[in-house]
Amino acid sequence: MRSISRSCSSLIRFAVYPDIGEYKKIVEQSEEAIRLKPDFPVPYAFLMFGDIALNRFEEAKGTYRKASEGKLYSPLFPLALYQIAFVQNDAAGTARQVEGSAGQPGLEGTLLANEADTAAYSGGLGQAREFSRQAMDSAERAGEKETAATYSAVAALREGLLGTAQEVRQDATLALKRSTWFDSEYGSALALAMRGRCASTEPDGRFGQEVSGSYNRAV
């Protein structure tokens, strides 16, 4: 029991480190958590993310192999492997992770959303729109309406940077229909502001003083 308690304590600590850029500490705490409880898969995933952040991709792959040899699995593994494939310009590798996630609630939508960003990064805005649509549909099927709204808001932000005003308005409106969550409203407001529209009046008066004020503070 003491080992499990210490392992959980390590998990809590290294889960915070990405937000403050302490990637070496993520690696240290993950390795300690694995030592204390080697049959628990989550620390292996965090160790992979820590090594990825430090550009130690072979080490991250080695951690995945070790977890696989122990017949351990976490839905975080495909996300980490996707990141490695992206950084290494391995289009087949990213596609393989997306295909492998099919039918897995949560993971499927996350990887489709990542694939949308990858497509946009590579200049494929049309492909990005399709992957975002698939990510939204996947989240809806999983009953994750807030997540679907977030994907819509992110798509709107992408269109605000690279696309058309019509697409911005369409994606922002979808985000608002799906959710009243602050992050979705903020993202939609920011996307509309990028296209020169007044956030306080789009599209149905829901952007009140709080969201507009947050946007003003951000910029």
Query: In angstroms, rounded to a whole number, what is the distance separating the alpha carbons of residues 183 and 37?
Result: 36
Which has the higher per-residue pLDDT, 213 or 161? 161
- What would the pLDDT profile of 33-66 be if each residue is shown by its tens digit? 999 999 999 999 999 999 999 999 999 999 999 9
Q: What residue ranges define each of the domains in the chain, with the CATH number in brackets? A: 1-90 (1.25.40.10)
Cβ atoms < 10 Å from Cβ of 159: 26
Radius of gyration of the chain (CA): 19
Q: What is the mean pLDDT of residues 1-23?
A: 64
Residues of the chain with pLDDT > 90, as a percent, come to 69
Provide the pLDDT for residue 216: 47
Query: In angstroms, rounded to a whole number, what is the distance separating the alpha carbons of residues 95 and 89?
Result: 11
Query: In angstroms, rounded to a whole number, what is the distance separating the alpha carbons of residues 13 and 44?
Result: 15
Q: What is the mean pLDDT of residues 207-217?
A: 45
Cβ atoms < 10 Å from Cβ of 216: 11
Q: Which two tokens stand for residue 44?
A: 């292996």
Which residues, other chains included, contact 99 with Cβ-Cβ below 8 Å and sequence gap of 6+?
none
Burial tier of 113 (Cβ tally within 10 Å: 0-12, 13-18, 19+):
buried
As a three-state string, the secondary structure of the chain is: CHHHHHHHHHHHHHHHHHHHCCHHHHHHHHHHHHHHCCCCCHHHHHHHHHHHHCCCHHHHHHHHHHHHHCCCCCCHHHHHHHHHHHHCCCHHHHHHHHHHCCCCCCHHHHHHHHHHHHHHHCCCHHHHHHHHHHHHHHHHHCCCHHHHHHHHHHHHHHHHHHCCHHHHHHHHHHHHHHCCCHHHHHHHHHHHHHCCCCHHHCCCCCCCHHHHHHHHHHC
pTM: 0.82
pLDDT value at 104 more than 50: yes
- What would the pLDDT profile of 163-204 be if each residue is shown by its tens digit? 989 999 999 999 988 887 888 888 999 999 887 754 444 445
> What is the length of the chain?
219
